[in-house]
Amino acid sequence: PYSKGGKIGLFGGAGVGKTVLIMELINNIAKGHNGFSVFTGVGERTREGNDLLREMIESGVMSYGDKFKEGMERGEWNLRDVDMEKVNESQATLVFGQMNEPPGARLRVALSGLTVAEQFRDSDGGGKEILLFIDNIFRFTQAGSEVSALLGRMPSAVGYQPTLASEMGKLQERITSTKQGSITSVQAIYVPADDLTDPAPATTFSFLDATTVLSRKISELGIYPAVDPLESTSRILDPNIVGEEHYQVAQGVKQLLQHYNELQDIIAILGVDELSDEDKLVVNRARRAQRFLSQPFHVAEQFTGLQGVMVPLEETIRGFKMILNGEMDEYPEQAFLNVGTIDEAIAKGKKLLEQAKTAH
């Protein structure tokens, strides 16, 4: 769970889906919660910024007026068609300092985005809840390292700048809430060579309330979003905050997946058949839970061909509870991949069982 006014880190190596996850969050928050978002692109690909802007205009999160939108659909990009009155109706602001910018601009763009978020939080008497997305914090550190070299400072661990901790603190400590409004930040953090002990991601850890770790191992299984529940943490996963049921189900799923992980070596050497009946049951349920953690995204529809879904928290808890209790053991594990609610998984499972019967 993510806390309102908290700081959330999305950790992951190259190409495991950090940016797609951020785009989906912006899309869902604008549509489902009518919230306001500030997106800051720090040293990332210009193409991603372009894709994000087009996605925002198409989905109506950002409004440039009908004339501009029609032109965009025809392949045009005429900024003279932008309706400035309509721009004020937008629910997101994008601030960019992409890869092609000099290091000074890349170092400052995260702070510029933060200033915009503070302005929205405090304007009109405050009381607004703002979402601040930063993609990518690692590029902020990288830009700081380049500026540090230009200033002739002595590098510290792994060649990073000696001011790494203070620069990170300057940014993170400004992401805060007032009595009236709040800024909740979601930060994508690139992990160099998938090494979480690298000074850049390691410095960020101490500031975060929740960490979501995206794993290459899970993305290779074709499970997206490739979130690793065993590596991910949250300060508010506490029965006093989220409730007893949510806490017990979350811990139950973690224990199940942990047990499955411990059995992986035995499975690799001897095969599943050599396991005890109890362990076989653990493997079967864990594989179902692992696949049920996947979800089709709205922003990835054009790539996956699957309709994006938004699943309420209660439904997620109900689904995992049924898997843990063994109510789903009869359905094939493929039924749980890329579905929304558990009811969709049951319907898909029944269909797959019928197909298997007719095939025989």
List, for the chain, all residue ranges whose pLDDT scores fall below the cut of 70. Answer: 34
List own/partner pairs for 28-34 with CB under 8 A and 24 or more apart.
28/298, 28/310, 29/131, 30/59, 30/61, 30/91, 30/92, 31/59, 31/61, 32/310, 34/91
7-236 has which fold? Answer: Rossmann fold (3.40.50)
- Predicted pLDDT at 22: 87
| Domain span(s) for CATH 3.40.50.300 in the chain | 7-236
Q: Which of 62, 78, 336 is nearest to 70 (CA)?
A: 78
Q: Which of 24, 44, 48, 167 is catalytic?
A: 44
* CA distances, 154 to each of 29, 83, 202, 232, 322 (Å): 43, 50, 20, 34, 57
Catalytic residue flag (residue 44): yes
pLDDT computed for residue 40 by the predictor: 95
**Alpha helix stretches (DSSP H) within 33-122:** 46-59, 66-73, 84-87, 103-122
Q: Indicate which residue of 31, 45, 67, 235 is catalytic.
A: 45
Alpha-carbon span 358 to 109, nearest angstrom: 59
Q: Are strands 129-135 and 233-234 parallel, antiparallel or unpaired?
A: unpaired
Q: Is 18 a catalytic residue?
A: yes
Query: What local confidence, expressed as pLDDT, does residue 159 receive?
Result: 92
Q: Where in the chain is the domain with CATH 1.10.1140.10?
A: 245-359
pLDDT value for 35: 75
| Beta bridge pairs of residue 39 | 94, 133
Q: How far is CA 258 from the centre of its chain?
A: 22
Give the predicted TM-score (pTM) of the model: 0.86
CATH 2.40.70.10 fits 245-359, yes or no: no
pLDDT for position 29:
81
| pLDDT for res 59 | 80
